[in-house]
Structure 1
Amino acid sequence: MKKLLALALGVALGLAQAPSPEALKGLGPEETLALAKRWREEGQRVVSYVTPEAFFFEFPDGRKAQVALKDRFLLAVAPYVNRTHPCQVHYFSSCTGELQGEVLEVRVLEGEKEVIKTQVKTGKDGFFELWLPRNRRYTLEVRRGDLLATGPITTFRNSPTCLTTFRLRAP
């Protein structure tokens, strides 16, 4: 039964077929994110990235596809302690952060109002993702043990989708 359910989920997410634009048809933003991450983990040669407006894919055969984000904004965050890289547009297919598989405490504030408080685990790529409403200004706090990173983030049309400047330090 578990195998059947896993297979059904894989087919629903387009995971059972080779990477192609057709695998993206009918997927929502969350499913598209899962598929982009899966293709990277499988070592598929698909270039995938996210802008404030959409996910973009470039396949080995030259075909291209995109999936609109609709009314939300996706921010990929890679906090670091020792090393980072400059980035504005998050490439699921190649961006790698320092802290892979780390558990972090995350808070997002809009003014004084807490809009997100959660625990996340960075992926094999060292990133975690936040889905946020568009056209807003926030403060992001990321904590790992006694280390803290905090700073402003935005979700406007010209905002970065890749955040690699959050250095975890002792407060």
Structure 2
Amino acid sequence: MGRRERDRAPPVNFPARPRSALGPSGGGSRRGTGQLPRRSLFIGVGLLPLVVAGCGTRGAEDAPVTEDEDLLQEHGFADADAQEIIDQLEALPVAERPQNLIASVTPTSLQLSDDAGREAELPLPPDQFYLSVAPFVEATHECAFHSLTTCRGELRSREISVSVVDNSSGEILEDGTHTTHDNGFVGFWLPRGITADLTCALEDVTGTASISTQAEDDLTCLTSLQLT
């Protein structure tokens, strides 16, 4: 497996956000649109002092899928597949996330490593793509591939309305209310091979981003979706 990196960056100031009139309860809206870059990004810019992030930036490589049984056993993943591990780690309170484990999601696999130098790589379902989303109002960080143990978003444990609409077919893939996890993210398992519009709304602010699940360098960590 390739390298995993975590950056730290000093906080920066974001411009005051405009107010708009939309929320889950209805009304008109102004939509902030975030365009997703297709190549890997560096990380760690634009954080408030209490928002600390560390995300993967390595490319999706054609490495063989491997399993270190000791690593999986020690962290309680011996009988779990990639989807089960991702869902479990994403939902953990931040204080309970393992400090000695890095778990990164690429478009094709879950990559695990620990401080003992052990590594494992588990394939994602062939027909599904995992996208973790951290909508924000004032502070964010840049990220390419989601780190389940170190990524942090601004809006922790907040109820947001989410819709995902397939650009080709117009099919509504997601439409409902979700509560962001303790890390400020909410994850979605989406069909592979699509482009779509993802919209999030929180109270009187909303934002929309274009997403893709087609390529091996598509992002699994969406942090550019600002709510305005």
**What is the 5 A alignment of 1:56-135?**
56-71=111-126, 72-111=128-167, 112-135=170-193
Q: 1:154 to 1:75 in 2, by over 3 A?
A: same
**Aligned residues of 2:93 and 2:183 also touching (Cα < 8 A):** no
Higher helix share: 1
TM-score, normalising length from structure 1? 0.82
Residue 28 of structure 1: aligned partner: 81
State the structure with bigger RCO (CA 8 A, min sep 6), 1 or 2. Answer: 2
Q: 1:151 to 1:34 in 2, by over 3 A?
A: closer
**Aligned residues of 1:21 and 1:64 also touching (Cα < 8 A):** no
Amino acid of the structure 2 residue aligned with 1:24: F
Residue 4 of structure 1: aligned partner: none
Name the stretch that deviates more: 148-157 or 32-41.
32-41
Q: 1:117 to 1:39 in 2, by over 3 A?
A: closer
In 2, the alpha carbon distance for the partners of 1:82 and 1:66 equals 35
Amino acid of the structure 1 residue aligned with 2:85: T
Alignment identity in percent? 28
Name the stretch that deviates more: 159-168 or 57-66.
57-66
Q: 1:105 to 1:122 in 2, by over 3 A?
A: same
In 2, the alpha carbon distance for the partners of 1:40 and 1:67 equals 23
Gaps of 5+ in 1: 1-18
TM-score, normalising length from structure 2? 0.62
Q: After TM superposition, which residue ranges in structure 1, 4 or more long, deviate above 4 angstroms? A: none
Matched residue count: 151
In 2, the alpha carbon distance for the partners of 1:40 and 1:54 equals 23
